[in-house]
Amino acid sequence: MSTPAAILILVADATLNLTVDRVVAAAGLQVVRATDPSNRRAWTGAAAVLLDAAAARRCAGQGLPRRARVLLVSGSAPEPAAWEAAVAVGAARVLTVPAQEAELMAVLAEAAEAAHDGGARGAVVAVMSGRGGGGASVFAVALARTAADSLLVDGDPWGGGLDLVLGSETEQGLRWPDLAVAGGRLTYPALRDALPQRHGVSVLSGSRVLSGERPSDDIDPLPLGAVLDAGSRGGVTVVCDVARRPAPATDTALAAADLVVLVTPADVRSCAAAAATGRWVASANPNTGVLVRGPAPGGLRPVDVARIVGLPLLASMRPQPGIEQQLERGGLRVPRRSPLAVAARTVLAVLQTKPSGAEAEAAA
């Protein structure tokens, strides 16, 4: 779906840039130059990040998440301030070039291999409710079940559990409290084989508190980012149910998403809540649209809801009969002609038109 990730270079010195250019060209990687990352996605989506001490201090001040393959480069022996900046930003190495060109080349060659190892990346979709109980979890499950191959990620520890919606709560497999991420990177085949599966969907959910399992109160953004990235590199559609509240994990999911779906019931109070939610969500990811869920007790049309919320209309759906009983007995069913399935296919079709992170950076 997307082109290979580029190297993000945040280096001001022209002479140092010439040396870096030579090494990057030899590694066969594309380059994006900037003074600072344009957003969190530009930072997390790059194959590697090369920066100088000044850029490292600025990035650390922005609170960008820790990630692999961040290198601080210098044209001379680094001073103590450079080492402090490297620690603050989470740089893996501090390299002096051209003296350590060979080491820089080795890291970039590994980045080039990682950028190409997954072929076409799968799309990442973040689903959020415009108001509490707006139906995001149900639609996230419907979306995952409708996609050809998918990874369903529970990013809302206060939502009751996607496994209950999917009907996989009794399936054996890894859940959030069991997940340990070493080095910030996961391989999707290993992750998929460890997760519970139901209806062809691999799902990572929270613990079953009611069954006496160890609870998971919050989700660490670093493992969440690694899971989303692993699924995308694995070429599957990644669907993440996102908590309707600002939090580090929410920021990570929104930054990683190719598309954010805000699910909004078609009534006035829901529209008012969704308008407030939509403002901060769209500021984090401009590829955000609204899914309008019926019924409309006051006669609001989907276009009216989208206008009030202030987001593009992705799809609308009428109520799905019998859904409450399904959720109580075995999990959600998504017949092909059901309202949920039709809306999910519409959103997946919209998703195909969205630019990848690398393409968006290039266009900018």
The helix (run of H) or strand (run of E) holding residue 90 is: none
Cα–Cα nearest to 176, from 136, 127, 224: 224
Confidence check: pLDDT of 119 > 90: no
The fold of 7-116 is Rossmann fold (3.40.50)
* DSSP secondary structure code for residue 301 in this structure: -
pLDDT at residue 120, as a whole number:
67
CA 127 to chain CA centroid, Å, is 11
Confidence check: pLDDT of 210 > 80: no
Residue 326 near residue 332 (C-beta atoms within 8 A) = yes
Cα–Cα nearest to 211, from 246, 264, 170: 170
Tokens of 233: 């590199």
Cα–Cα nearest to 255, from 2, 63, 42, 31: 42
Confidence check: pLDDT of 218 > 60: yes
Q: In one letter, which amino acid is 169? A: E
Taking the CB of residue 319, how many other CB atoms lie within 10 A of it?
11
pLDDT band with cut points at 50, 70 and 90 for residue 357: very low
The pTM score is 0.68
CATH of span 124-356: 3.40.50.300
Nearest-angstrom CA–CA distance, 190 and 318: 39
CA 96 to chain CA centroid, Å, is 33
> Could you report the per-residue pLDDT of 280-323, keeping only the tens digit for each?
999 889 999 999 999 999 999 999 999 999 999 999 999 888 88
Q: In one letter, which amino acid is 36? A: D
Asked if domains 7-116 and 124-356 share a fold, the reply is yes
Average pLDDT, the chain: 85
pLDDT band with cut points at 50, 70 and 90 for residue 72: very high
Total residue count of the chain as it appears in this document: 364
Q: Is 324 exposed, middle or buried (0-12, 13-18, 19+ CB in 10 A)?
A: exposed
pLDDT band with cut points at 50, 70 and 90 for residue 324: confident
Confidence check: pLDDT of 335 > 90: no
pLDDT at residue 195, as a whole number:
94
What is the dihedral sign for C-alpha 347, 352, 353, 355?
positive
Torsions phi, psi for 343 (to 5 deg): -65, -40
Give mean pLDDT, residues 240-269. 93
pLDDT at residue 116, as a whole number:
59
> Could you report the per-residue pLDDT of 168-188, keeping only the tens digit for each?
888 888 988 888 765 456 788
Give mean pLDDT, residues 141-165. 91
The residue ranges of every structural domain in the chain are 7-116, 124-356
pLDDT band with cut points at 50, 70 and 90 for residue 91: confident
